[in-house]
C-alpha cells in the first residue's frame, strides 16, 4: 500500500481550516492530502472482509472529503475525530449497499433491538474503537516523534531513566527509588536527571513542531 504524507501540526491545521472555510481550495486540498493516513488506518479494519485496500481507501476518501467540507470549528470536536466518523459512515454505507445482493454475515448485520427499539448490529457488541481511532493514530505519530527526539536530545542514561520511569516501548514502569537502586545512586539524583531530561524533551518538541 502506498505511503501517505504526515499530518499537519495543530497550528498548521487550524490555519488550514480557517482558510478552507473561507473558500481557499488549496487549503481544502491540503487538509484532504494530510488526512489520507487516517483513511488508510480506518480502511484496514475492513480489509479482512475481502475488499481490495485501494477500493476501501477510495471510498473512505469520499467520507474524508465530506467530513472536511461539513466540518465547523464550533462543533467542539477535533477535525480528525469528526472525519473519522465520516470515513466510517461512508465505508459502512458501501458495505450495506453491497449486502443487499449478498447473503454473507458482516459485522453490521442486525441482531435485534434494544429496549428503546434501536437496532443493534453485531459490530455494536464487539470490542471496537470509534472516535478513539483519531487519538490512537495521533498517539502513534507522537510516539514515533518522541523516540526520534529522545535519540537526538538525551544521553544514554537520560533515555534509559525516562524509558523506565514512564514504561515506554512496552516496558514496565519503575519508581524513582527502584531506578536509584538499579544505578546505585540517590533517589533525589534520579529525580534531577528525570526533570532535566523532560525539560530537554519539552524544548526539543516545541522546536520540532
The beta-strand segments (E) located in the chain are 110-113, 119-121
112/162 same-domain check: no
Question: How would you label 18-40 residue by residue, b for 16+ Cβ within 10 Å and e otherwise?
Answer: ebbeeeeeebbebbbebbbbbbb
Report the CATH number at residue 90.
Answer: 1.10.601.10
| 4 within a domain of the structure (yes/no) | no
117/185 same-domain check: no
pTM for the model stands at 0.50
| 1 within a domain of the structure (yes/no) | no
| 143 within a domain of the structure (yes/no) | no
39/115 same-domain check: yes
The domain in which residue 14 lies consists of 10-132
| 145 within a domain of the structure (yes/no) | no
115/202 same-domain check: no
pLDDT along the chain (209 residues), means of 10: 75 92 92 92 76 86 92 83 90 74 50 58 48 55 74 90 84 89 92 89 70
Amino acid at each position: 500500500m502506498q505511503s501517505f504524507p504526515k499530518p499537519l501540526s495543530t497550528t498548521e491545521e487550524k490555519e488550514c481550516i480557517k482558510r478552507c472555510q473561507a473558500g481557499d481550495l488549496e487549503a481544502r486540498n491540503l487538509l484532504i492530502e494530510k488526512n489520507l493516513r487516517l483513511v488508510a488506518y480506518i480502511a484496514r479494519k475492513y480489509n479482512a472482509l475481502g475488499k481490495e485496500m485501494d477500493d476501501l481507501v477510495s471510498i473512505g476518501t469520499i467520507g474524508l472529503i465530506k467530513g472536511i467540507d461539513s466540518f465547523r470549528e464550533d462543533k467542539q470536536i477535533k477535525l480528525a475525530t469528526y472525519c473519522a466518523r465520516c470515513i466510517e459512515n461512508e465505508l459502512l454505507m458501501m458495505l450495506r449497499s453491497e449486502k443487499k445482493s449478498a447473503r454473507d454475515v458482516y459485522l453490521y448485520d442486525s441482531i435485534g433491538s434494544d429496549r428503546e427499539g434501536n437496532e443493534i448490529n453485531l459490530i455494536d457488541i464487539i470490542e471496537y474503537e470509534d472516535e478513539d481511532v483519531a487519538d490512537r493514530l495521533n498517539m502513534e505519530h507522537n510516539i514515533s516523534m518522541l523516540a526520534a527526539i529522545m535519540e537526538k536530545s538525551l544521553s544514554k542514561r537520560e533515555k534509559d531513566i525516562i524509558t523506565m520511569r514512564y514504561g515506554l516501548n512496552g516496558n514496565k514502569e519503575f519508581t524513582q527509588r527502584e531506578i536509584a537502586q538499579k544505578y546505585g545512586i540517590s533517589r533525589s539524583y534520579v529525580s534531577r536527571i528525570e526533570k532535566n531530561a523532560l525539560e530537554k524533551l519539552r524544548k526539543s518538541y516545541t522546536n520540532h513542531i
